[in-house]
Amino acid sequence: MAESVQRETAKATEFELFDPATGERLGSVPVLDKRQVEEAVAAARAAFAAWERTSFAERRKAILRACEVVTAEMDTIARLISAETGKPVGEAISMEIAPVLDLMQFFAKRTAKILKPRRISIGLYGLLGRRSKIVHKPWGVVAIIPAWNYPFSIPLGEAAMALMAGNTVVIKPAEATSLTGLLIGDIFQKAGVPKDVVTIVTGAGETGAALVAARPDKVMFTGSVATGKKIAAEAAKELTSTVLELGGKDPMIVFADANLKIAAKAAVWGAFCNAGQSCSSVERLYVERSAADELTRLIVEETKALKQGVGTDEDVSVGSMSSERQLRVVEDHVEDFRREGATIVTGGRRREGTLFYEPTVITNTTNRMRGMREETFGPTLPIAIFDTEREAAELANDSEFGLTASVWSGDRARARRVAEQIHAGTVTINEVLYTHGIGQTPWGGFKNSGRGRTHGAAGLFELVQAQHIHENLLAVLPDAWWMPYSPNAVKTFRAFATKFATGSILKTASMVPQLLRRIMELRRK
Ligand code: NAD
């Protein structure tokens, strides 16, 4: 955390943080106000001038040093993530630390290559002695506003990519996971990243809103659709560019010819890891009628065998939920399933007085039910039945969301055919959820699941502006389209429209005499 911001925080009010699984107090952090956030953005902008000039090799060293810090402090980091979110330490390592380390080393090593200036084809303009290339310029200050569910990997990964591209970064962590956010600042500091290149500003929604209003050059937001719309509206006032990573209602389609044992295990992990609080959780499962009983039986058997408890115990598979607010959404949805005639096969309860909600499997569901339409973001696995390939795709697409989806079948051609019909940013075949962990591939949603991409080359290009450098190698002659105009000029322009613009070299060659007449005319004038 930048020193200037730390000094200022003494004046700010604070809020306390608690372990959702045990209720233990974890600490407190300051709530930064508008002025402090503006100062942090101004300091980041000042730091940008020097950071932008660093070489890819220098940035690569800094990011790889940050990787070393994370690796050396892995267990402490995992325990903090677990304590702030309630997730098992194993998941903190497998779903946050390992993937973000992989992402960091990849972009540390590959950003220079991906962002390398490149010549682009300009078709027949090349015959006129022209050349074009694209170079990439960092935006400046990138504001990162993440959610609490992956409080380490998402902001750290986005920050590493933004830094490699030459930007400076201000992160406003989700309030419930502020300590993990501050830890990210410490990691970059230990890695020797200069002051104000990475700054953490703690606080709740108002601090986030202040960050968007403080005119960063780009906003990378991860969170709910409602907040995403507010941020897009606020950012639009200054034409600030945004990437929005929003909610999901991700369908899993299982055909009867799939390996049902594997599909059942995948469904259980996909629905219940992080207590279901993943944007790409399996939120609804559609199974072909003839396999429904067997798949449900396998899923229920797997689910009942899961140990739920405090995430710091290493043999715990399902932790607590992260907040009372989120748990209430789960209770509402399960209540609605009950009211609408669905069957709660296992689970369906919270452990009294706690934030532990039992992994819950629900059958006899339909797409009309709330828990099949709205994001539940909790440990529920509602199952519905389909009869045809077409119906499966239609049910999956019947949603305002489109983040990820999965198709399970032993028939690869069929699985690919169905995958291509699904409207979602990522569709996996015989696999669920984990591709956010592949930093090399683009991540982002269709429909209300978001705008723009993080990860992969597409995500890196969000963090730079493309600059086109165009060169005229024949600048001794005037361009045919310059002034003054004349009947001869209009004749030439017609030739451009009917010959040159067809892309045909032959047709273009036939207009050369007219072109020369026009250039001679311009030289005489
Ligand atoms: P949220 O929208 O309540 O909060 C997200 C962040 O925005 C927090 O840091 C919060 O403090 C901040 N914020 C709140 N109001 C703000 C405002 N007016 N201006 C600026 N910042 C503001 O979301 P949440 O409950 O923390 O997260 C859960 C949601 O995130 C789910 O919908 C989940 O699907 C989504 N999510 C999406 C992805 C993805 O990659 N698509 C990944 C993780 C989570």
Average pLDDT taken over every residue of the chain: 96
Ligand 1 center from residue 224 Cα (angstroms): 5
pTM of the model: 0.96
Residue 380 and residue 334: Cα distance in Å, rounded? 8
Residue 123 and residue 471: Cα distance in Å, rounded? 14
Token pair, residue 266, equals: 């995948």
Residue 359 has pLDDT above 90, yes or no: yes
Ligand 1 center from residue 292 Cα (angstroms): 35
Residue 327 and residue 376: Cα distance in Å, rounded? 9
Is 266 within 8 Å of 260 (Cβ atoms)? no
Positions annotated as catalytic residues are 245, 279
Helix (H, G, I), strand (E, B) or coil at 279: coil
Does domain 250-439 sit in CATH 3.30.470.10?
no
Residue 8 has pLDDT above 90, yes or no: no
| Mutation choice for ligand 1 from 227, 433, 448, 449, CB with most ligand atoms inside 8 A | 227
State the span(s) of the chain assigned CATH 3.40.605.10: 42-246+457-466
Is 269 within 8 Å of 432 (Cβ atoms)? yes
Is 107 within 8 Å of 443 (Cβ atoms)? no
CB under 6 Å to ligand 1: residues? 145, 147-150, 172, 174-175, 204-205, 208-209, 212, 222-224, 227, 230-231, 245-248, 279, 375, 377, 403, 445, 450
Residue 520 has pLDDT above 60, yes or no: yes
pLDDT digit string, tens, across residues 123-144: 999 999 999 999 999 999 999 9
Token pair, residue 427, equals: 């569709």
Beta-strand pair 250-254/404-408: parallel
Ligand 1 center from residue 337 Cα (angstroms): 26
Q: Which atom, in ligand 1's list, is nearest to the CA of 403?
A: 41
Residue 205 and residue 228: Cα distance in Å, rounded? 12
Give residues with Cβ within 8 angstroms of 53, minimum separation 6.
Answer: none
In the chain the first and final C-alpha atoms are separated, in Å, by: 64
At residue 305, the pLDDT reads 97
Ligand 1 center from residue 15 Cα (angstroms): 19
pLDDT digit string, tens, across residues 46-98: 999 999 999 999 999 999 999 999 999 999 999 999 999 999 999 999 999 99
CA nearest ligand 1 atom 40, residue:
245
- Domain 42-246+457-466: top CATH class: alpha beta
**For residue 519, what are the CA distances in angstroms to 50, 79, 492?**
47, 74, 10
At residue 525, the pLDDT reads 79
CA nearest ligand 1 atom 11, residue:
205
Helix (H, G, I), strand (E, B) or coil at 445: coil
Ligand 1 center from residue 340 Cα (angstroms): 30
Q: Which atom, in ligand 1's list, is nearest to the CA of 325?
A: 25
State the span(s) of the chain assigned CATH 3.40.309.10: 250-439
